[in-house]
Structure 1
């Protein structure tokens, strides 16, 4: 936790021990105690009169979960099990399908499939709803129960029933569980362009990005024509890793700032001198699944005119969650600040608009499949600044491939249109790579 937040937490604890000295404070305290008395009365009545005996720990956890769910979609209580799951996501490996899911109105909703996992290979997409597991309805159950069923021994099969918005009927997909190795970064070279695919921002992401640049240069025996930084379907992760990854490509300057409840509660993060990419052209790919830490990187590169952002508007999660330990095995994941790009833009709700809109034309469902973003989540934080993140007009659609169908593109060997367009833009060194310099600057 950043030191200012630790100091703030200690200060709040100290205030709670100070006796009330004014009538207004006394009134607030009195109202609060009446509400707590009511809570305890309900707690005791449930314990005494509910039709079945209930566990005190389960009741209290339910009360805490209810309190936090009234705030925003990203604040939550982590019990021992949740705490271990979070550590697994950032450090380890597990047997499962490779899905990040959430609960929405009693249904399990896919946030994103992890690349190169059974779910990804089977074509499960962000926004899909999972209604049955092995033919059994899971609607109305808990998210933990659904996750437990989807995880399991590698090599075992499970059938998922999927409801996809835009399709008339549900469909079944049978997947075989695998060891899900959480590799945050992959790289490859195509047409002398280095492609760095960042899947998540875990504790080793920045180190892996630096290693990818070294590996690309070694494989080519020199500098590449440029780099594609692929942040599509990246749900985010650790803030410090987003800052370090941005620093890899920036010579200097602010990367991101986070601002808390009070006007003076601002913390800024800066790049250190030295651009590891040596000023070579950069294209950043984003889509509706690019969130949080991924948006920090895209926004920093865009605002510093260091590269061009291509693809589709990002998810729009512009809030910071701080992990506040409660015990050795439990913690509070609490939204404590909003973050802003170097030019002062908030991406909350609106997301990062690409400099060049490039739809994923190689996806046959791209026109009918709805995109789900932060603004679609209940109780999401409102972007009070109402910043205009509108996209710049760009004549990219003169490319005849924009008029092709997914099937026509596939016949021409184009499996991933967005990536192909990004690679071609770097190799041409033509107009698309000059668009970023025309973006407006300054605080907004």
Structure 2
């Protein structure tokens, strides 16, 4: 019937009853071609295939051929997307992308089964419950990994430099916690894990309030950790940037018509005025966090530290299709306040620091000093020792860990071991950020004295 309608439409317009241009006639000719192929598949393919599946796959084929971020969502998938923006969904808590026919992990979400199982950014998922997923779209792969909370799931992982291994986990009702914080030496370390939560900006303000209440004053500085953050909602990138900027441009977006330029600005007044900021980024910082980092960098409001970001500078618009799910379509490119496009370029850090393993040199511990000399004055030495004890007590008192989970790292054999998140002794980039912030604090105190 559908084929017949396409043919009739072509004949009707070609009959001259309605005047149309050549491009319109070409569209109907191609739709006729689609109808022919669809009809042949329905009648001649070796197995029976549901009409809805054929159409959905055809739509997805059309959209994914445009770029990796455009896609069609059926009603179930569209509802799951809406649930994610509320901060709750069922599954294992991993953000993925289809890349050259395989599924690549962008990042596991903190404190989820995927995170606890040791899944890392850059991992490739090649099997789900012993079923190969080569050639699947990311939407199809997500569908296989989701399921009823409490049910088990096995993933076969390929990681660079290691033999393939299998991890097993149980699905859970995922509750996204987009903002986490910790205090280290009166410096606030704020980690934003995702922008998919529609209240990310609000939760950042709550975190700042809690930090001030804990310290009893403003922090000496803020380290904003945007590493392994795969993005989310554009309006939340604007909301987060608004916290750190005073009546400044945050981002501009352009569509097909370059005349239709849209700009987003921060409100007058800044929540953390005068407090130095360092932003941590890496190669898995993508989209929304790149907007934040780019805005703060262009306005010289923060020092960007880490490695070049992912470079996703496109905006997807989600369009509901009444009764048929929704359409995720790339409609715009975004630009930093200075007009830089991030697409396939990313944000270059002001200070490049690659992640490295922190190792204490044992020989450095045993150093000969004045106190080692026989007969050295002990009065001052005892006073210094007492001050050191008091400082350690204050450090324990002022260090707050706000629901930062332990990460289980998977070794080559598949065994799990605990690793603390946002621990400077384990995180070289964070250690460097803290050192830099302490240096900035010293310079600021000297400038005040002058």
Following TM superposition, by how much is the alpha carbon of 1:156 offset from its aligned partner in structure 2, in angstroms? Answer: 4.4
Partner of 2:30: 35
1:192 to 164, 172, 186: 186
Residues 71 and 139 (structure 1 numbering): CA distance in 2 closer, same or farther, change over 3 Å? closer
Following TM superposition, by how much is the alpha carbon of 1:431 offset from its aligned partner in structure 2, in angstroms? Answer: 10
Following TM superposition, by how much is the alpha carbon of 1:251 offset from its aligned partner in structure 2, in angstroms? Answer: 1.2
Deviations 1:371-405 (A, max 9, x none): xxxxxxxxxxxxxxxxxxxxxxxxxxxxxxxxxxx
Following TM superposition, by how much is the alpha carbon of 1:327 offset from its aligned partner in structure 2, in angstroms? Answer: 0.9
Residues 195 and 330 (structure 1 numbering): CA distance in 2 closer, same or farther, change over 3 Å? same
Q: Which runs of 5+ in 1 are unaligned?
A: 1-19, 365-409, 434-444
Separation of aligned partners in 1, 2:260 and 2:148: 47
Residues 232 and 432 (structure 1 numbering): CA distance in 2 closer, same or farther, change over 3 Å? farther
Separation of aligned partners in 1, 2:140 and 2:21: 44
Following TM superposition, by how much is the alpha carbon of 1:129 offset from its aligned partner in structure 2, in angstroms? Answer: 1.1
Partner of 2:429: 418
Following TM superposition, by how much is the alpha carbon of 1:146 offset from its aligned partner in structure 2, in angstroms? Answer: 3.8
| Partners of 2:68 and 2:98 within 8 A in 1 | no
The yes-or-no answer on 1:345 pairing with 2:356 is no
Structure with bigger gyration radius: 2
| Partners of 1:356 and 1:432 within 8 A in 2 | no
1:139 to 128, 134, 144: 134
Residues 225 and 179 (structure 1 numbering): CA distance in 2 closer, same or farther, change over 3 Å? same
Residues 104 and 83 (structure 1 numbering): CA distance in 2 closer, same or farther, change over 3 Å? same
| TM-score, with length taken from structure 2 | 0.76
| Partners of 1:362 and 1:414 within 8 A in 2 | no
Separation of aligned partners in 1, 2:235 and 2:79: 21
The yes-or-no answer on 1:327 pairing with 2:322 is yes
Partner of 1:361: 356
Following TM superposition, by how much is the alpha carbon of 1:40 offset from its aligned partner in structure 2, in angstroms? Answer: 0.8
Residues 193 and 430 (structure 1 numbering): CA distance in 2 closer, same or farther, change over 3 Å? closer
The yes-or-no answer on 1:429 pairing with 2:440 is yes
Q: Which runs of 5+ in 2 are unaligned?
A: 1-15, 360-419, 445-450
DSSP 3-state at the match of 1:295: helix
Say what the alpha-carbon RMSD is for the aligned residues. 2.5
DSSP 3-state at the match of 1:348: coil
Residues 86 and 414 (structure 1 numbering): CA distance in 2 closer, same or farther, change over 3 Å? same
Separation of aligned partners in 2, 1:304 and 1:314: 18
| TM-score, with length taken from structure 1 | 0.77
Deviations 1:144-165 (A, max 9, x none): 5543443344444433221113
